[in-house]
A and B are shown apart, each in its own frame.
Chain A
Amino acid sequence: MHRYRPLLRYAGRQRRSFAAIAALAMLAALLAAAQPWPMKLAVDHVLNKLPLPARVSALLGGAEWLLSPPGLLAVAVGGGLLLFALNAAVEVLLVKRWTVAGRRMVYDLSEDVFARLQRRSLLVHSRNAVGDTMSRVTEDCWCLYRAVDAVFISPAQAVLTLGLTFFLMAQLDVALALVTMGVVPFMVAASFLVGRPLRAAARLKREIESRIQAHLQQTLTGIPVVQAFAQEGRERERFQQFADAAVRAQQYSTLLGSLNSLGAGLVTTLGTGLVLWLGAQHVLEGRLTLGGILVFIVYLTTLQSQVKTLANVHTALRNAQAGADRALEVLEAPPELPEPVSESRSGVSADRRQDRPCAQEMRRSAETPLRQSSLGIASEVRGHVRLENVVFGYQPDRPVLRGVTVEAKPGEIVALVGASGAGKTTLVNLIPRFFDPQQGRVLVDGREVREFRLRNLRERIAVVLQEPFLLPISVAENIAFGRPQATRVEIESAARAANAHEFIGRLPQGYDTVLGEHGATLSGGERQRLAIARALLKDAPILILDEPASALDVGTERLVFEALERLMAGRTVFLIAHRLSTVRHASRIVVLQDGVIAEEGTHDELLARGRLYARWNNLQFQPDAPSRNHLA
């Protein structure tokens, strides 16, 4: 429990709501216990004309009419309606309170988890699937909701209801009350079997479904091969087989579930039967009234649901614990990318505040004199990047970069080439500090990147990646992604420079058109031009281009290359490219192989040297690359 104290704080913030909810829950228990009594009154004292117990007649004492059969009937009917009204009122209050307080508590936690997660190093994220990370925000935070419900609210209500109903039953017939309380646990135990298909059956079903999914994926993506080899008939048969298996698996799992349920049903009905049988005999013997047995029958159902709640506490807690651990893991992880001590604060909420604009302004003014005084570089001279002997591996024992030193002076274009897996992307990712090298250091404008506030560092760097990562927001918002306050004029001029204005104008709502997921409604070249416009608008002195032209559609390559040229002008550029034709005009070409620099120099120098680069150049030569004249 101690470990979870940080999480309980989130519940603590809603304590006033929870106090109200607890009070309402008690009230609900009282009302539930009172439910069958008007019926009893009608049956026993109106119809069967049994004398009223002294307490009740005292309660109704004053009015003579109330004690007559029509009067008592009116009391019974009115009481029933009154109970309904009270019940409704309590339920409304309870549900509303719990909806707001429960969700608020979950969302407070999820906001903090989200804030932490999106600031974590890409290294951490590279180890986790997106779905897993998402579920920490969207699923795991619900552990609080379940825990509070399972530990505080439901059990309190259940215990109260159990005590109350037992007390009331005992008033009617002690022996039958004891039998009832003895029968209920068996009924509950049996009910846990209801609808629980064996896990194996469920797994089998899921497996077959995912095989169907995979088969569809295969055939529909490979449809040219299927058609070219005229195999449609065979694929259909194979699908039919999967479909038959899926239906059989579903039947099997339903059947198993049904058999389990059958046992549970038997126990439940037998339990009810036992109470009914004993009760009826007691009625015959005169130990219980007819109305009394009706009360017992109603309570039997109430008791079942309450005992079930109590029995569920343990499971609910265990489920909540798994989520709590995962949420805590995020909240308590030490930051992988520590920022300068003088500027950082501790604690989760402080972490979220770190980049407020005003704080940032203060930091900026504090930072400039430092840079000038200690290094003697004027702040206008920007875009100098140096990676010094950096070593890095996603797993510590398997380095991807093994001591690489690269320098780019302001305005230089440094091209990185090499086979996939050589470490090109990893190398450039060190510059905006997506993660830190295990050895060596990275300097921007003469200062180590670890000395910058992350935000200040990343403001100097623009990226255009292979995958443009557009969001399903409007075109204008996508372009202004790094500068949300940019004016429409600025956005449009960035789009013009990126050769994107024209196609944007053709979209249904122009700049206000909302894009599909991942820009699905645009072609590859259009998406990449938006990414370029986005980088242009950011107007940073350092530019990282990671294979910006590898996923382009025909006919727009030229437009993209023109746009890239404008983007690169006057900036320090790190360019990763597959096609060697795009890199030949770089100031320097760095050839990476197995995590080290194999050779380095201009295009002509490297060709003259006749080693790796020269060989690739001969091999890879493609006469069709329209790019060769466009990328300066």
Chain B
Amino acid sequence: MSTRPTAPSPDASPARLCRWVLGLALRRRLSLLAVGATTLLKVGVDALKPWPMLFLVDYVLQAKVRPAWAQTWAEFLPGAESPANLIAWCVAATVMLFFLSWALGLVLSYASVSLGQRMVYDLATDLFAHLQKLSLRFHAKQSTGDNIRRVTADAACVSMIFKDALLPLATALASLLVMCGVLWRVEPGLTLLALAVVPWMAVVLRRYAKPMLDLGYQQQQVEMRLYQLTEQTFSSLPVVQAFCREELNDQALARANRDTIDATLALTRVQLRFKILMGLATAAGTAAILWFGTQQALAGHLSIGVILLFLSYLGAFYEPLASVMYTGLVVESAAGSAKRVLEVFHTPHEVNDPPGAKALGRARGEVRFENVTFGYEPERAVLRGISFQAQPGECVALAGATGAGKTTLASLIPRFFDPWEGRVELDGQDVRNLTLRSLRTNVAMVLQEPFLFPLSVAENIAYGRPRATQAEIEAAARAARAHDFIASLPKGYRTVLGDRGATLSLGQRQRLAIARALLKDAPILILDEPTSALDADTEHELLAALETLMSHRTTFIIAHRLSTLRRTTRILFLKDGGVAEAGSHEELLARGGLYARFWQGS
């Protein structure tokens, strides 16, 4: 069901985009079939709409000699001998046809909206799945809001292209064909006359469709400035007031308002001109048909009903023609969104399972960095030639100034990124040769920002092990010193957390994050400033509890506090992307190097 193999490049031509969208629609064959069948039915019914009226006028009210088809009908209908009954039949037929067309319209809109939505969400699901697998490097560069917009708003482009461009195009072509065919059979001469307005309409549409779209876009842009100005003003009001900008803002708003009126007027002018020119086609067509038709009728070649038929079809010409012309514009305006969607599909997964990747069982926990160099931006390495080895069960601290690369180094172990050079090994195997899933199952992490989900407390703790029992969850919470405050929550472990766990304090969120990592029970544990928001007493207690848990795991801990650093077996002191010094706290202090100076500086 993946769209990826067929997804065109972000700069695909409109025609290519349409083919892509059709491909997506074909994934829901049944719905597509329903939409197609209803469309054809509706076109047919619409073409029949003026016929009862024609019958009524010509053969009932005017009592003309009925041609064969009309005679057949008149004989077929019961009670057709009396004109009153025939009137009733005609009226009934009109009502039926109108109602049928109305109902088919509803069915069609239901079917096409459903299919459109289905396509949008099919695409959105694929997009989301793809986004989730992209490396953290991508996510660090890309704003979350932007990605959300791609999934929620931009994915709607497929529905737009399908429902507002391709479907109307197909409908329009079908109904134009049917109407012209019918008219031709009735009266070829007048048909040609009626069709004379088509080129005129086409020329007008061609001439005005684009300027109207452009001016509409400009008008929206100018109007958007109003919103931006008010938004900016009120979201930065402290600065506005502190810097006395109120009067300038007043002026800016007045100017934006004036510009909006001008832009609206410019748009209105073109719209009016367009409307009048299109109206002129209908008016002139009506006049011509009335003129020639009536003369023909006077000469006895034509009936009034046929003139009415022509006039009503003429009125129905405009809509399908317009949708044919607008198709290109709709696709063009959806192309921007489509591009943003396709860009995501064309961002390769940097971190990928290589062919023949091995699944790793439970690791012993030996971690080795060999000459690792890595940076987020090309030519700006954050880590330079890092080499070290951590034995199973060892507790290694990563220390150094902010920006020295501590978090980056830790992120290479679960393969959030791959190093430019060198290798990271787990139990003697390059992590790139292991399946991502098995590698990450072996690593538990507590990140700087605890990121909780709007799930229950229990589900959050069991995030990495959804099948954990309540007893296991509670044990992990107790070890993380979180059980007490959880118990005091309104629904205990079943309390659902607010957006980003906002109802909890940072310290509480950190403890939940620790519980989550503990429950995962992986041989490697990474703690990135896990206790920064805790008071000294709680921290002390927590670290004591962690100590027993850390004893049979390889632990990497990033910390600032002396008390924490003292507990570790080894400290890697990072500076400018390299390991400047390594050793235990006492050793490093005794050495009197950078690390020691760092502390004495206080």
* Complex contact A80–B298 (CB within 8 A): no
Interface residues in B186-231 by Cβ distance below 8 A to A read: 226-228, 230-231
Task: Decide if A183 is an interface residue (CB 8 Å cutoff).
Answer: no
- CB neighbours (8 Å) of B250 from chain A are 111, 114-115, 352
- CB neighbours (8 Å) of A232 from chain B are 129, 132-133
* Complex contact A130–B235 (CB within 8 A): yes
Instruction: Give A355's nearest chain B residue, CB to CB.
Output: B247
Instruction: Give B535's nearest chain A residue, CB to CB.
Output: A619
Distance in angstroms between the alpha carbons of A77 and B60 in the assembled complex = 26
Please encode chain B, from 162 to 175, with 1 for each CB lying within 8 Å of some chain A CB and 0 for all others: 00000000000000
Instruction: Give B437's nearest chain A residue, CB to CB.
Output: A230
Task: Decide if A12 is an interface residue (CB 8 Å cutoff).
Answer: no
Task: Decide if A222 is an interface residue (CB 8 Å cutoff).
Answer: yes
Task: Decide if B88 is an interface residue (CB 8 Å cutoff).
Answer: yes
- Nearest-CB distance from A186 to chain B (Å)? 15
- CB neighbours (8 Å) of A373 from chain B are none
Distance in angstroms between the alpha carbons of A42 and B291 in the assembled complex = 9
Task: Decide if A10 is an interface residue (CB 8 Å cutoff).
Answer: no
Distance in angstroms between the alpha carbons of A247 and B121 in the assembled complex = 8
If over half of A's interface residues share one DSSP class (helix, strand or loop), that class is named, otherwise mixed; here it is helix
- Nearest-CB distance from B282 to chain A (Å)? 9
- CB neighbours (8 Å) of B520 from chain A are 229
Please encode chain B, from 450 to 468, with 1 for each CB lying within 8 Å of some chain A CB and 0 for all others: 0111100000000110100
Task: Decide if A389 is an interface residue (CB 8 Å cutoff).
Answer: no
Instruction: Give A219's nearest chain B residue, CB to CB.
Output: B132
Instruction: Give A615's nearest chain B residue, CB to CB.
Output: B536
- Nearest-CB distance from A110 to chain B (Å)? 7
- Nearest-CB distance from A60 to chain B (Å)? 17
Task: Decide if A203 is an interface residue (CB 8 Å cutoff).
Answer: no
* Complex contact B94–A273 (CB within 8 A): yes
- CB neighbours (8 Å) of A624 from chain B are 399-402, 404, 560, 598
Please encode chain B, from 60 to 85, with 1 for each CB lying within 8 Å of some chain A CB and 0 for all others: 11100000000000000000000110
Please encode chain A, from 247 to 281, with 1 for each CB lying within 8 Å of some chain B CB and 0 for all others: 10011001100100110011011101100110011
* Complex contact A229–B87 (CB within 8 A): no
* Complex contact B232–A471 (CB within 8 A): yes
Interface residues in B552-583 by Cβ distance below 8 A to A read: 560-562
Interface centre among B128, B148, B290 (most CB of A within 10 A): B128
Task: Decide if A188 is an interface residue (CB 8 Å cutoff).
Answer: no
- CB neighbours (8 Å) of B124 from chain A are 239, 243
Task: Decide if B183 is an interface residue (CB 8 Å cutoff).
Answer: no
A39, A117, A209, A281: the one within 8 Å of B234 (CB): A117
Distance in angstroms between the alpha carbons of A622 and B402 in the assembled complex = 10
Stretch of B101-109, B365-373, B477-485 at the chain-chain interface: B101-109
Task: Decide if A227 is an interface residue (CB 8 Å cutoff).
Answer: yes
- Nearest-CB distance from B192 to chain A (Å)? 19
Task: Decide if B33 is an interface residue (CB 8 Å cutoff).
Answer: no
Task: Decide if B40 is an interface residue (CB 8 Å cutoff).
Answer: no
- CB neighbours (8 Å) of A107 from chain B are 254, 257, 260-261
Please encode chain A, from 617 to 630, with 1 for each CB lying within 8 Å of some chain B CB and 0 for all others: 01101111010100
Task: Decide if A284 is an interface residue (CB 8 Å cutoff).
Answer: yes
A216, A223, A265, A534: the one within 8 Å of B148 (CB): A216
- CB neighbours (8 Å) of B248 from chain A are 484
Task: Decide if A69 is an interface residue (CB 8 Å cutoff).
Answer: yes
Distance in angstroms between the alpha carbons of A239 and B125 in the assembled complex = 7
Distance in angstroms between the alpha carbons of A555 and B228 in the assembled complex = 33
A134, A236, A280: the one within 8 Å of B230 (CB): A134
Distance in angstroms between the alpha carbons of A209 and B234 in the assembled complex = 27
- CB neighbours (8 Å) of A350 from chain B are none
- Nearest-CB distance from B222 to chain A (Å)? 12
Stretch of A87-95, A158-166, A323-331 at the chain-chain interface: A87-95
Distance in angstroms between the alpha carbons of A110 and B279 in the assembled complex = 36
B56, B264, B298: the one within 8 Å of A280 (CB): B56
* Complex contact B443–A228 (CB within 8 A): yes
* Complex contact B148–A220 (CB within 8 A): yes
- CB neighbours (8 Å) of A458 from chain B are 241-244
* Complex contact A39–B290 (CB within 8 A): yes
- CB neighbours (8 Å) of A621 from chain B are 561-562, 602
Distance in angstroms between the alpha carbons of A389 and B234 in the assembled complex = 31
Distance in angstroms between the alpha carbons of A311 and B470 in the assembled complex = 61
* Complex contact B234–A134 (CB within 8 A): yes
B103, B246, B401, B443: the one within 8 Å of A115 (CB): B246
Task: Decide if A461 is an interface residue (CB 8 Å cutoff).
Answer: yes
- CB neighbours (8 Å) of A262 from chain B are 102-103, 106
Task: Decide if A218 is an interface residue (CB 8 Å cutoff).
Answer: yes
Instruction: Give A235's nearest chain B residue, CB to CB.
Output: B132
B61, B99, B226, B298: the one within 8 Å of A269 (CB): B99
* Complex contact A355–B244 (CB within 8 A): yes
Task: Decide if B412 is an interface residue (CB 8 Å cutoff).
Answer: no
Distance in angstroms between the alpha carbons of A217 and B445 in the assembled complex = 21
- CB neighbours (8 Å) of B536 from chain A are 618-619
Task: Decide if B420 is an interface residue (CB 8 Å cutoff).
Answer: no
* Complex contact B91–A103 (CB within 8 A): no
- CB neighbours (8 Å) of A432 from chain B are 241-242
- CB neighbours (8 Å) of B227 from chain A are 134, 138
* Complex contact B87–A280 (CB within 8 A): yes
Assuming the contacts A111-B253, A227-B414, A250-B117, asked whether A47 and B304 have C-beta atoms less than 8 A apart, the reply is: yes
B151, B414, B466, B535: the one within 8 Å of A234 (CB): B466
Interface centre among A133, A213, A217, A228 (most CB of B within 10 A): A228
- Nearest-CB distance from A17 to chain B (Å)? 13
Stretch of B4-12, B136-144, B353-361, B486-494 at the chain-chain interface: B136-144
Please encode chain A, from 71 to 82, with 1 for each CB lying within 8 Å of some chain B CB and 0 for all others: 001001100110
Task: Decide if A221 is an interface residue (CB 8 Å cutoff).
Answer: yes
* Complex contact B561–A270 (CB within 8 A): no
* Complex contact A76–B290 (CB within 8 A): yes
Interface residues in A31-73 by Cβ distance below 8 A to B read: 38-39, 42-43, 46-48, 69-70, 73
* Complex contact B451–A224 (CB within 8 A): yes
Task: Decide if B428 is an interface residue (CB 8 Å cutoff).
Answer: no
* Complex contact B95–A269 (CB within 8 A): yes
Task: Decide if B98 is an interface residue (CB 8 Å cutoff).
Answer: yes
Interface centre among B240, B244, B441 (most CB of A within 10 A): B244
- CB neighbours (8 Å) of A43 from chain B are 304
Instruction: Give B598's nearest chain A residue, CB to CB.
Output: A623
- CB neighbours (8 Å) of A618 from chain B are 536
Assuming the contacts A218-B500, A284-B61, A471-B232, asked whether A88 and B121 have C-beta atoms less than 8 A apart, the reply is: no
Task: Decide if A374 is an interface residue (CB 8 Å cutoff).
Answer: no
Task: Decide if B268 is an interface residue (CB 8 Å cutoff).
Answer: yes
Q: List 17 A-B contacts (CB under 8 A).
A: A48-B304, A96-B268, A110-B257, A118-B249, A133-B234, A134-B234, A219-B132, A223-B132, A230-B440, A239-B128, A254-B113, A262-B102, A262-B106, A272-B95, A280-B61, A461-B242, A619-B561
**What 6 A-B pairs come out closest when comparing CB atoms?**
A554-B403, A469-B236, A482-B243, A222-B451, A243-B121, A265-B102
Given A84-B279, A223-B139, A230-B464: 17 more A-B contacts, CB < 8 Å: A46-B294, A47-B297, A117-B234, A138-B230, A213-B148, A227-B414, A227-B440, A228-B440, A247-B117, A251-B117, A258-B107, A258-B109, A276-B56, A290-B61, A355-B244, A481-B245, A624-B402
List chain A positions with a Cβ less than 8 A from chain B: 38-39, 42-43, 46-48, 69-70, 73, 76-77, 80-81, 84, 88, 91-92, 95-96, 99-100, 103-104, 107, 110-111, 114-115, 117-119, 122, 125, 130, 133-134, 137-138, 209, 212-214, 216-232, 234-236, 239-240, 243-244, 246-247, 250-251, 254-255, 258, 261-262, 265-266, 268-270, 272-273, 276-277, 280-281, 283-284, 290, 294, 352, 355-356, 429, 432, 434, 455, 458-459, 461-463, 465, 469, 471-472, 481-482, 484, 520, 534, 538, 553-555, 557, 618-619, 621-624, 626, 628
